[in-house]
Amino acid sequence: MRAVGFSPFPVDRTPVRVGSDPVTIMANPKRKLSRASKGHRRAHLALTRAQLVRCTHCGAMIRPHTVCKACGHYRGRQILVAENG
């Protein structure tokens, strides 16, 4: 017979051994999260397109503030030897 108020988990929330693996007790949500609340939380998780600009030397589309892979120029100066030219 069990004592009244008996809990299989210790009150201090220390790891409990179940078999051979230590198990910690984790917090769980009280209620199901509604679709609206989930959507409000995820409103800022959308991916954004990479910004692209034209290389001033060859006109290839590159990300801003990076060396052009096509011609090797950055801010009007030759930085790298071009791969194909």
pLDDT of residue 6: 60
Each residue's pLDDT, cut to its tens digit, for the chain (85 residues) gives 555 666 665 566 666 666 666 666 788 889 999 999 999 999 999 999 999 999 999 999 999 999 999 999 999 889 888 666 5
Q: Is the pTM of this model over 0.85?
A: no
For the chain, what is the radius of gyration of the CA atoms? Answer: 29
The answer for residues whose C-beta is within 8 angstroms of residue 2's C-beta and 6 or more apart is none
Predicted local distance difference test score (pLDDT) of residue 32: 94
pLDDT score, position 76 = 87
